[in-house]
């Protein structure tokens, strides 16, 4: 049997048989990995803590007959703060679903895993505003997926401070300019500055910005709409998160 040791974040868990669990894990070196945790749902299992949703852990897996079974697992960070707040947990689950959609098996993801871990850390440890963490993560994920928006200026006249963002094209336009059909999101100078910061700042500074009021809403609306439009799909985890905000 061949063995592999890697660190990764548990993105999804599926109950299997009576006491087993199938994990979908994002590893920086190996992309998406599917692992079986045998007997992990038993109270006596030593793997139990490391094999939970949204746990960052070191796994040793044995490869046999095309399937990976966990032989050892040690939790590195479990983000307990997320597990006691249903809103934060639902937002973190949305990030996990995004990460799964944007990653592949046997394809290294050196930038994706740190981004998701930093987002979870910002929510759980730094207590950053969830709506801003969400917007920054969505825009950064769009850029990683190959949908980096062009934010230097109006795509028609070149004005450096346009007030519209095309969610289909990822370009800026002035109110009087219209390059193509599609939905435009309004942007103020503050929300545009935040978008520019998010797509260009160092990874460790991603959540080091502040925005409030109308500008915050503009950023959040634009980031979510842009990512969903580019990916051409919806996310049930996002729908659940948003349903909690209206209760």
Q: For the sheet with 184-186, list strands across it.
A: 150-154, 171-173, 164-166, 184-186
99 and 153 in a single domain? The answer is yes
9 and 122 in a single domain? The answer is no
Question: What rounded mean pLDDT belongs to the chain?
Answer: 93
103 and 224 in a single domain? The answer is yes
> How would DSSP label each residue in 21-50?
EEEEEEETTTEEEEEEETTTTSTT-TTGGG
Q: How confident is the model at residue 49 (pLDDT cuts 50, 70, 90)?
A: confident
**Widest distance between CA atoms in the chain:** 67
Rounded to an integer, the average pLDDT of 221-240 is: 98
Rounded to an integer, the average pLDDT of 234-240 is: 98
Question: Does the pLDDT at position 176 exceed 90?
Answer: no
Using the 3D structure, point to which of 53, 77, 101 is the last residue of a domain. Answer: 77
With pLDDT > 90 as the criterion, what percentage of the chain qualifies?
Answer: 78
pLDDT recorded at residue 247: 67
90 and 73 in a single domain? The answer is no
61 and 8 in a single domain? The answer is yes
Question: Does the pLDDT at position 226 exceed 90?
Answer: yes
Q: How confident is the model at residue 3 (pLDDT cuts 50, 70, 90)?
A: confident
Rounded to an integer, the average pLDDT of 108-131 is: 96
22 and 105 in a single domain? The answer is no
Q: State the CATH number of the domain containing residue 195.
A: 1.20.1440.120
236 and 114 in a single domain? The answer is yes
**CA dist., res. 155 & res. 130, Å (int):** 31
**CA dist., res. 20 & res. 7, Å (int):** 21
pLDDT, tens digit (0-9, with 9 covering 90-100), for 124-147: 999 999 999 999 999 999 999 999
169 and 219 in a single domain? The answer is yes
pLDDT recorded at residue 171: 95
**CA dist., res. 142 & res. 202, Å (int):** 16
pLDDT recorded at residue 1: 57
Q: What is the domain count for the chain?
A: 2
pLDDT recorded at residue 167: 96
**CA dist., res. 212 & res. 220, Å (int):** 11
Question: Does the pLDDT at position 178 exceed 80?
Answer: no
49 and 95 in a single domain? The answer is no
| Residues near 103 by beta carbon (within 8 Å), at least 6 away in sequence | 26, 31, 32, 109, 112
111 and 227 in a single domain? The answer is yes
pLDDT, tens digit (0-9, with 9 covering 90-100), for 56-82: 999 999 976 667 889 999 999 999 999
What are the φ and ψ backbone dihedral angles of 225, each rounded to 5 degrees?
-60, -40
Q: How confident is the model at residue 204 (pLDDT cuts 50, 70, 90)?
A: very high
Q: State the CATH number of the domain containing residue 25.
A: 2.40.50.140
72 and 88 in a single domain? The answer is no
Owning domain of residue 136: 84-245
pLDDT recorded at residue 64: 65
Using the 3D structure, point to which of 32, 47, 77 is the last residue of a domain. Answer: 77
Using the 3D structure, point to which of 46, 77, 108 is the last residue of a domain. Answer: 77
Secondary structure of 170-184 in the HEC alphabet? Answer: CEEECCCCCCCCCCE
Picking from 243, 241, 198, 240, the residue whose alpha carbon sits closest to that of residue 219 is 198
53 and 11 in a single domain? The answer is yes
């Amino acid at each position: 049997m061949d063995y592999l040791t890697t660190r990764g974040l548990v993105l999804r868990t599926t109950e299997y048989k009576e006491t087993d669990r199938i994990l979908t894990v994002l590893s920086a070196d190996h992309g998406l990995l599917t692992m079986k945790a045998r007997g992990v749902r038993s109270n006596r299992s030593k793997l139990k803590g490391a094999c939970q949703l949204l746990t960052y852990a070191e796994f040793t897996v044995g490869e046999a007959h095309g399937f990976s079974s966990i032989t050892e697992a040690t939790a590195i960070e479990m983000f307990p703060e997320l597990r006691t707040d249903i809103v934060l947990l639902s937002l973190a689950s949305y990030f996990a679903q995004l990460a799964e959609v944007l990653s592949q098996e046997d394809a290294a993801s050196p930038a994706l895993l740190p981004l998701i871990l930093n987002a979870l850390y910002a929510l759980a440890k730094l207590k950053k505003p969830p709506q801003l963490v969400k917007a920054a993560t969505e825009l950064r994920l769009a850029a990683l997926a190959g949908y980096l928006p062009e934010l230097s200026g109006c795509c028609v006249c070149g004005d450096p401070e346009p007030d519209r963002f095309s969610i289909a094209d990822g370009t800026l336009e002035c109110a009087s300019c219209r390059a193509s059909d599609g939905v435009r999101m309004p942007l103020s100078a503050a929300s545009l500055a935040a978008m520019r910061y998010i797509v260009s700042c160092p990874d460790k500074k991603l959540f080091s910005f502040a925005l409030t009021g109308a500008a915050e809403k503009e950023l959040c609306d634009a980031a979510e709409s842009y990512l969903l439009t580019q990916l051409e799909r919806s996310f049930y985890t996002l729908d659940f998160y948003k349903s909690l905000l209206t209760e």
